[in-house]
Amino acid sequence: MPDDQPDCLFCRIVRGEIPATRVYEDDAVLAFRDIAPRSPTHILVVPKKHVGSVADLTDADGPLLGRLFGAIARIARDEGIADAGYRVVSNVGRWGGQTVDHLHFHLMGGRAFAWPPG
Ligand code: 5GP
Ligand code: ZN
Residue 117 lies in a domain: no
Check which CATH number belongs to the domain holding 41 and give it. 3.30.428.10
**Rounded Cα–Cα distance for residues 14 and 105 (Å):** 15
Asked if the structure places residue 38 within a domain, the reply is yes
Ligand closest to 32 (CA) is 1
What range defines the domain where residue 90 resides? 9-109
> What does the pLDDT read at residue 85?
98
- Digits of tens for pLDDT over the chain (118 positions)? 557 899 999 999 999 999 999 999 999 999 999 999 999 999 999 999 999 999 999 999 999 999 999 999 999 999 999 999 999 999 999 999 999 999 999 999 999 999 999 8
Pure H helices in 16-57: none
**Residues, CB-to-ion distance under 5 Å, ligand 2:** 5, 8, 10-11, 50, 102
Kindly list the strands in the beta sheet with 22-25, ordered across the sheet, starting from the edge strand earlier in the chain: 22-25, 29-33, 41-47, 105-109, 87-89
Atom of ligand 1 nearest to the CA of 38: 10
Q: Given this model, what pLDDT does residue 24 score?
A: 98
Ligand 2: centre distance to CA 6 (Å) = 8
Q: Examine the residue annotation and report whether 104 is marked as an active-site residue of this protein.
A: yes
